[in-house]
Structure 1
Amino acid sequence: MSSSSTGTPGAPKYIDAEVLASLVRDPTKTPGKDYVVVDVRGEDFGFGNIPGAVNIPSHEFLDRPRDFVEPLNSVPKVIFHCALSQVRGPKCANHYQQVSAVVRGQQEAAKEGEGAPQEILILRGGFQNWQNLYAKESDLVENYNAQFWKEEL
């Protein structure tokens, strides 16, 4: 399974859980260097997350996007998600893409060079789907609280 387009030109694409799981398990890839998972959930982040994910609640991200875009701008793949990746994750990914284009344009003008293209993705199905698939796989879920997710369902 591969990434697929949303149908909107230039919009972030979706990545399937199986593709991200392969990336997380790839010993040649380093989180924060080769890819970064940006989890825009709030308090429920504390009850389970993708290993190495950076938690930036959506309201914080949307209030100060440039604070987060600049440090992530050199990472080739930035993958956003929320609980279901239906509202907050896609909204933050789209906002990141817009702000990143401005920041990259300014950096390129200052350096007179061209940066490598960055792939901005949204995890299809969000953490809900991820934990449904991988809750029992400790290399793919950290800090998992099964009781919390059982009560949420």
Structure 2
Amino acid sequence: MAAPDIPRNTQWHEAYPAPMSKVDALPRQELLRWLREGKQAGRDFVLVDVRRNDFEGGTIRGSLNLPCQSLYPTRPALYTLLKSGGVENVIWYCGSCGGRGPRAAAWFADYLVEKRDSTMKSMILEGGIKGWAAAGPEYTELMDEYDASVWAKS
């Protein structure tokens, strides 16, 4: 599926349908607990970092980088991969989870509704990567390519 033409002065996401689903937020403390209990991203759940141009400063260990701008047309392939892997929880995040993360999570939740799949859950990481990085060393030690100087500017 080719990306639709986007008129000038239009936000990229306006080329796609507005998401209909409401998604839950997973508190970062809960994700930290999962990781400390030995649950592994990519096996027990999937973390998706939807940042594109601002993908710097590090990411939560085990995350996939799937920029939100490319998500909508790739939902069927992503769903097939996740379903075949037995994934039950997909956690999406962006900078602060105020725009792209919730949009991506809701688009994916809409697709789960289309597929009548009630076994997989799509949610956002409360506070996004900025909240994670600001929460202290117990969080940042679980980041790959962590760069404190990037977060000092935030």
1:141 equivalent to 2:143? Answer: yes
**Could you tell me how far 1:87 is from its partner in structure 2?**
0.7
Corresponding position of 1:48: 58
**Could you tell me how far 1:135 is from its partner in structure 2?**
4.8
Separation of aligned partners in 2, 1:134 and 1:47: 14
Q: CA 1:65/1:135 → structure 2, altered by over 3 Å: closer, same or farther?
A: farther
Corresponding position of 2:113: 101
Question: Which ranges of structure 2 fall in alignment gaps of 5 or more residues?
Answer: 1-20
Corresponding position of 1:67: 77
Corresponding position of 1:124: 126
Letter of the 1:127 partner, please give it: I
Q: Is the 8 A contact 1:84 1:128 kept in 2?
A: yes
Corresponding position of 1:15: 26
**Could you tell me how far 1:137 is from its partner in structure 2?**
4.7
1:101 is paired with a residue whose SS is: helix
Q: TM-score, normalised by structure 1?
A: 0.76
Corresponding position of 1:91: 103
Question: Which ranges of structure 1 fall in alignment gaps of 5 or more residues?
Answer: 1-9, 106-114
- Which stretches of structure 1, 4 residues or longer, exceed 3 Å deviation after superposition? 134-139
Percent identical: 27
Q: CA 1:138/1:82 → structure 2, altered by over 3 Å: closer, same or farther?
A: closer
Q: TM-score, normalised by structure 2?
A: 0.76
Corresponding position of 2:40: 30
Point out the structure with the larger helix share: 1
**Could you tell me how far 1:26 is from its partner in structure 2?**
1.8
Q: Is the 8 A contact 1:16 1:124 kept in 2?
A: yes
Corresponding position of 2:18: none
Corresponding position of 1:79: 91
Q: Is the 8 A contact 2:132 2:139 kept in 1?
A: no
**Could you tell me how far 1:139 is from its partner in structure 2?**
4.0
